[in-house]
Amino acid sequence: MTDFDSLSINTIRGLCMDAVQKAKSGHPGTPMGIAPVAYTLWQQYLRFDPTDPIWPNRDRFVLSEGHASALLWSLLYLTGVRAVDPDYEVLGPAVTLEDLRTFRQLGSHCPGHPEYHLTSGVEATTGPLGQGVSMSVGMAISGQWLAARYNRNDATLFDFDVYALAGDGCMMEGISSEAASIAGHQQLSNLCWIYDSNRVTIEGHTDITFTEDVAARFLAYGWNVTTVADANNLDAIRRAIQSFKAETARPTLIVVHSHIGYGSPLEDSPKAHGAPLGAEAVKATKRMFGLPDDKDFYVPDGVRDWFEGGIGARGQATRAAWEATFKEYANAYPDLADEVERMQRRELPAGWDAVLPDFPADPKGLATRDSSSQVLNQLAEAVPWLLGGSADLAPSTKTLLRFEGAGDFQPDERGGRNLHFGVREHASAAIANGMALTKLRPYWSGFLIFSDYARGAIRLSALMEVPVVHIFTHDSIGVGEDGPTHQPVEQLASLRAMPGLFVFRPADANEVVETWRVVGALRHEPAALVLSRQSLPTLDRSVLHGAEGVERGAYVLADPPSGGTPDVLLLATGSEVALALSARDELAADGIGARVVSMPCWELFDRQPREYRDEVLPPAVTARVGIEQASTLGWDRYVGPAGAVIGMDTFGASAPLKQLLTKFGFTPERVTEVARALVAEQPRRAGTPQPTAPPPAAGPATAPPPTGKDPQ
Amino acid sequence: MTDFDSLSINTIRGLCMDAVQKAKSGHPGTPMGIAPVAYTLWQQYLRFDPTDPIWPNRDRFVLSEGHASALLWSLLYLTGVRAVDPDYEVLGPAVTLEDLRTFRQLGSHCPGHPEYHLTSGVEATTGPLGQGVSMSVGMAISGQWLAARYNRNDATLFDFDVYALAGDGCMMEGISSEAASIAGHQQLSNLCWIYDSNRVTIEGHTDITFTEDVAARFLAYGWNVTTVADANNLDAIRRAIQSFKAETARPTLIVVHSHIGYGSPLEDSPKAHGAPLGAEAVKATKRMFGLPDDKDFYVPDGVRDWFEGGIGARGQATRAAWEATFKEYANAYPDLADEVERMQRRELPAGWDAVLPDFPADPKGLATRDSSSQVLNQLAEAVPWLLGGSADLAPSTKTLLRFEGAGDFQPDERGGRNLHFGVREHASAAIANGMALTKLRPYWSGFLIFSDYARGAIRLSALMEVPVVHIFTHDSIGVGEDGPTHQPVEQLASLRAMPGLFVFRPADANEVVETWRVVGALRHEPAALVLSRQSLPTLDRSVLHGAEGVERGAYVLADPPSGGTPDVLLLATGSEVALALSARDELAADGIGARVVSMPCWELFDRQPREYRDEVLPPAVTARVGIEQASTLGWDRYVGPAGAVIGMDTFGASAPLKQLLTKFGFTPERVTEVARALVAEQPRRAGTPQPTAPPPAAGPATAPPPTGKDPQ
């Protein structure tokens, strides 16, 4: 090591120890063990300009072991990374010494785990293990795709590399196995995972549960694998990174054997993982590293200049060259340059939504997965960087892009727009997150039931505020014969509970169009599209209100045919809206006036002013029936205590849909029966919870055990 | 092949084709390809008595590729497996020819995917890929543990093997990677996965996304791997199974190269996967297999007798020998035999709950994770087959069993009670399911936020109706400094939306005790325990109502100190109950009478008679404040339109808890402010949705972007 190499590394260690010690909380051990690797990568290899941390062709560094956040905060501080404001203007430092001193305190730019959107230089929110490495696969895919679309013989706009630093925990999580398998198949030679193998987790040494041969596993995935036997050996680290940079057909795993809490009295102990070392141990460790033990947050003279001369100088020069290239590129290829610039601002091409179709009324109609397929294809033709794939369900979810030139994204076809994620839902969503972090507009699709498998990554879309479109079809007992393992019940409520996620369940083809119009314009919010397997009538808007009401989340679709104040409100989403319309007609024949409200997106409706909400759901009309083939949780907000919900509070069953509709009470007879009862009981006493509609007259929603039911 | 071997295999193929064809829906291709393997295993190896399908020492067969259910239904029919009634009496056939003919229709015992609890002989509900193989790991762990505890030199009660049949999809899912890694570490030589490698999935050939070397991957996990190059080669199949049976230190993976839709015109095509072959193709295929093409559901004479003479005779003899052994065992070891028998009926030892402690009032109190730890340890001492582990968080979730002899479950210590699942939440929950399916009482633990990772398996606990205890700690922004990646917000609502799952969030140590009393007695329901990281006061029950109200889900904890009808109801769970009590005292000083209702388990409360619910939440009192550090979704059911909810509809933040309580409005000041406003507004108009409480006066719940917020 040169003096400044070791001085810089030990400075990082000191800052990490101090930040955790001062916060009285955090994870000191991992940064101390892996600091030499992170230092070497940043100082000597990472193409990153601290003065412009969102330069599009920067190398990405994802701290997948997000609990080691102090390492990242130290690097952002020492390298002088700048903050960027909402208008993409570059401001002062992203992380100040005061931020480090207030690590994990309210308002600090140094929170407990890296949070994208809160601190410049953070490429992805991490902490939930396995997510960071999986998102890095999405970033690497983006890099390959961007290169294929935008690079020209005379101009290389995109050739960035993606690094992810992962711990033992990341390697154990299933999501990273899925992502690694995809990365190997896709031969992502621009991807490098650094596995910080300190063999210590919270419960103890990895010997107690994690004895597989990780290197052999990654070779089986088709990766290049290399090993650094000692995390403090900078030459070995350089050789390993060179091995990655020389590799042209495989992603690279660098296994680094490190020591948690290196240099401290707690070295190699689980106690170094998740708690401050203690004041005395910090002092002793500083002495061991040649740092003054009476100073905290100590940065020796010259260290920041050293970084400025390393990563700083290299990054600025590289970016300046890129800017010059881009200027020429913009002259030669103005349309492509415009795409690149719009993409960076998360804007779509001008007039992107002019292509959206209008579906004529059709009593037979089509499944919303089918209408969405048409809309998606038209949009994707208009928006070249809208791309995605499915978790092995594209023929069912209908998300394949079929237009001329769409093609598959594969090792030999990097410009393809269709990704095959395989039966790997969690990685699919995480990869989509990674693609969104590199400013593409990604989507992925699966059955709604399998949103459960992907929840960890969906949550990160919402927390990071990136506009991923999660497309979920087969959205109810409409699945039919596949039965309760495949029929979602609780997934709608679960997704609605997630802050920052827009959940759409459109009722017909034109609501699908309006949904995509809203979703397309989102810049900082993910959306979940919940679509039917079965055909739904395309509603006749000449006699009903228009589907543009989708943008307000819920809207009056139809008032009583006879006019006047409605006696009852029928509230529904998706496939149940047509059912509500049928019930409205039957009720009219009985002289009961029913209003039908379509509620495709609760989150948008809840954001409307009270006046609009009261207009759609007049407070005076307390007879209200909510209808949705899903858990009733949450419906009380709209139906109130005098209302009722026809929903699913049990699992479904394996049978053709028609039988299930009767069994579970989704028939016009049942809706009108419930509505009539509510109207007859008016006025009811207020404040009495009426959790759900009574079960259908035909029998309880939970069927009695069939003969031979096995009580195992 | 002998005549009857090929005749039986082709009969199975014919039944599967016909069942799918008649249902006009289903998956014919997989059963046709893998039938020879399933046949050989069942007929020649599986120790399974069709006349007593719940015999405790039977070998387990898990159809992890659950979409191939027709294969299982055919086998259950042909081998004459009996049904078992709720009193464990053996009845007539589990699957009749009529059931096969009504495959996938309402009421058939042959639903679309195997459903435990619906059809005898189904060892686990499967269909969501990866779950079956992962549960099989739990079953194999159970086998090892049962052997260690109950076998004696003179009596082997448990030595069953566990087989799982998996497809390409199962191999791609992350959960199976997690489970395979654990199985390898645990050296589960009683476990055999048969990988039906037909290299065709829904989107096409696996070449498009799944090109890893699966055999090499499993060698890396520490498995014995063997290959059958042709699924129709019965000798090769036998040799592979012999390799498994000869293996003493590793689980075995048998890679079987098969052909989807074997023998049909659609062989090797994705079209053979998920739809009927078509009438003409079925006829042609029958001719190819030498079956009459003018008969459906054809079972040649002698085939059922052939099974009766194979698996039937072997199974009955093996079970009879076991019964004789058990009789002697019961004489020699009556206490142990009693345990085995109780366990099979899902009963606990007599007086099991006598050990439950009573916690004295203590204003400082302790975290509910800590009180639960004490209770769990006492219960586990009283219930020898209560065991479990954590997804690498035991020191934090406090679920380690610490009493003398509890020990770790490891390859060299099979009687240990503590499992180390590693950072693998999804497999943890699935393994717990597998253990429950073998009649142990398992639990596993993690942070509540990571319940997201395990949802697919938690859902199966509920769908299968097995009493797994899912223990989740760090249940709110109480997590503090780790920040929003680790602070659950939407997880409570998500779990509550799941049918059949009891979700408990106890308020203090004595509610924890009563929660465990309810949970311990469950025989067919899983539970989620949601526990705090931070200390909560142990409430003084001498001046408050007793914690036994937990069994009714919600109960009046305290009425206004001055008596009389309350002016306002304060409803809360977990850590917010003490907050509600403080607010009650402050309101009393203002002359406002507040009732505090603790609501630890909504599902139980919703099951109470209306009288009880109205007694706890008097309809006349419409001023109601719900208080919970979680998504407000679902609270409207209890607070009604004139109420308000103080909850979390944004993500949290990284800071010490005290700062977060102020930021997000969980202070006595804020609760009293909201309550006072509601009381002042009385009476409000009914029917007006009031989704959530207005944000705290101190500022909006969603903080404005901090300076330097990065708009990437």
Residues of chain A neighbouring B633 (CB-CB closer than 8 A)? 493, 496-497, 633-634
CB-neighbour burial class of residue B112 (10 A; exposed 0-12, middle 13-18, buried 19+): buried
Element (H, E) at B444: strand B441-447
> What letter represents residue B343's amino acid?
M
Could you tell me which chain B residue has the CA closest to the CA of A91? B708
Answer for the pair B471, B495: CB distance below 8 angstroms, yes or no: no
What is the spatial distance between Cα A698 and Cα A247, in angstroms, rounded to a whole number? 66
How many angstroms away from the CA of B98 is the closest CA of chain A? Answer: 14
Asked if B185 and A396 come within 8 Å (Cβ–Cβ), the reply is no
- Greatest distance between any 2 Cα atoms in chain B: 90
Query: Is A1 or A652 the better-scoring residue by pLDDT?
Result: A652
Question: Do residues A161 and A192 lie in contact, with contact meaning Cβ atoms separated by under 8 Å?
Answer: yes
Residue A469 CA to residue A433 CA, distance in Å, equals 10
Residue pair A541/A517 in contact by the 8 Å Cβ criterion: no
pLDDT at residue number A383? 98
Give how far A116 is from chain B: nearest CA, Å. Answer: 8
ipTM: 0.96
Q: How far apart are the CA of B662 and the nearest CA of chain A, in angstroms?
A: 11
Give pLDDT tens digits for B436-446: 999 999 999 99
Render pLDDT for A71-119 as a digit per residue (tens, 0 to 9): 999 999 999 999 988 777 888 999 999 999 999 999 999 999 999 989 9
Closest residue in A to B217 (Cα) is A217
Residue of A nearest to B27 (CA): A482
**Chain B residues near residue A710 by CB distance under 8 angstroms:** 53-54, 83-84, 94, 116-120, 122
A425 included as an active-site residue: yes
Put simply, the answer to whether B485 touches A410 (Cβ < 8 Å) is no
Nearest of B265, B292, B344, B271 to residue B88 by alpha carbon: B344
Strand partners, A152: A155
Answer yes or no: is pLDDT of A489 > 70: yes
Inter-chain CB proximity B221 and A210 less than 8 Å: no
Q: Which of B106, B125, B650 sits opposite A655 (nearest CB)?
A: B106
Chain A interface mutation, best of B91, B392, B685, highest count of A Cβ atoms under 10 Å: B392
- Please report residues of B whose CB lies closer than 8 A to that of A422: 172, 201, 206, 209-210
Q: How much is the pLDDT for A89? A: 84
Distance from CA of A324 to the nearest CA of B (A): 23
Contact B710 A116 (CB under 8 A): yes
Question: Which chain A residues are within 8 Å of B168, Cβ to Cβ?
Answer: 423
**pLDDT (0 to 100) of residue A239:** 98
What is the model's pTM?
0.96
- State whether A497 and B499 contact (CB < 8 Å): no
Contacts of B661 in chain A (CB under 8 A): none
Give the three-state DSSP class for B432: helix
CA A661 to chain B, closest CA, distance in angstroms equals 11
- 3-state SS, B174-198, equals HHHHHHHHHHHHCCCCCEEEEEEEC
Confidence of residue A712 (pLDDT cuts 50, 70, 90): low
Nearest Cα residue in chain A from B451: A456
- pLDDT, mean over chain A: 95
Of A421, A499, A706, the CB nearest to B118: A706
Q: Quick one: pLDDT at residue B502?
A: 98
Residue of chain A minimizing CA distance to B120: A710
The residue from A123, A173, A425, A628 that is catalytic is A425
What pLDDT score was predicted for residue A701?
A: 35
Q: Does A640 contact B686 at a Cβ distance shorter than 8 Å? A: yes
pLDDT score for B711? 44
Pairwise CB contact (< 8 Å): B486 & A209: no
For residue B416, give every residue at least 6 positions away whose Cβ sits within 8 Å of its Cβ, in sequence order, or none.
B406, B407, B408, B409, B410
Checking DSSP bridges between strand A191-197 and strand A162-167, what pairing results, if any? parallel
**Rounded distance, CA B568 to CA B602, Å?**
20
* A177 contact residues in B (CB cutoff 8 A): 174, 177-178
Looking at the partner chain, which of A122, A201, A708 has a beta carbon nearest the beta carbon of B392? A201
Contact B106 A25 (CB under 8 A): no
- In three-state secondary structure terms, A385 is coil
The answer to whether the CB atoms of B212 and A181 lie below 8 A apart is yes
- CA–CA distance, A176 with A134 (Å, rounded to integer): 6
Is B480 in Cβ contact with A712 (below 8 Å)?
no
Q: Smallest Cβ distance to A127: which of B394, B395, B485? A: B485
Residues of A in contact with B445 (CB under 8 A): none
User: Residue A68 pLDDT more than 90?
Assistant: yes
> Could you report the average pLDDT of every consecutive run of 10 residues in chain B (712 residues)?
88 98 97 98 98 96 98 98 86 96 97 96 98 98 98 97 98 98 98 97 95 98 98 98 98 98 95 95 96 97 97 98 98 98 96 96 98 98 98 97 97 98 98 98 98 98 98 97 98 98 98 98 97 98 97 98 94 98 97 98 98 98 98 98 96 97 97 97 53 45 37 48
Q: What distance in Å separates residue B278's CA from the closest CA in chain A?
A: 18
8 Å CB contact between B332 and B153: no
H-run or E-run covering A307: helix A303-307
* Beta carbons of A711 and B113 less than 8 Å apart: no
Q: Which residue of A has its CA nearest to B663?
A: A106
**CB atoms A220 and B212 under 8 Å:** yes
**Identity at B679, one-letter amino acid code:** V
B707: chain A residues, CB-CB within 8 Å: 83, 91
Longest dimension (CA), chain A: 90
> How many Å lie between the alpha carbon of A490 and the closest alpha carbon of chain B?
5
From the list A107, A172, A638, the residue facing B181 with the nearest CB is A172
What is the distance of C-alpha B186 from the center of its chain?
Answer: 21
CB B187 within 8 A of CB B252: no
Active-site residue set of B: 425
- In the sheet that B224-228 helps form, which strands lie side by side, from edge to edge? B60-63, B162-166, B191-197, B252-257, B224-228
Which residue in B has a C-alpha nearest to residue A707's C-alpha?
A: B85
Please give the angle made by the CA atoms of A61, A62 and A63, to the nearest 5 degrees: 120
Mutate which: A137, A177, A437, vs B, most B CBs within 10 A = A177
Q: Is the pLDDT of residue A692 over 80?
A: no
Helix (H) or strand (E) run with residue A555 in it: strand A555-558
Please give the single-letter amino acid code of residue B519: V
Q: Which residues neighbour A659 within 8 Å (Cβ) at sequence distance 6 or greater?
A: B105, B106
**For A592-651, what is each residue's pLDDT tens digit?**
999 999 999 999 999 999 999 999 999 999 999 999 999 999 999 999 999 999 999 999
- Contact between A622 and B688 using a beta-carbon 8 Å cutoff: no
For residue B67, the distance in angstroms to the closest alpha carbon of chain A comes to 8
Q: Quick one: A208 exposed, middle or buried, by C-beta within 10 A (0-12, 13-18, 19+)?
A: middle
CA proximity to B615, closest of B632, B635, B595, B600:
B595
SS3 (DSSP) at A22: helix
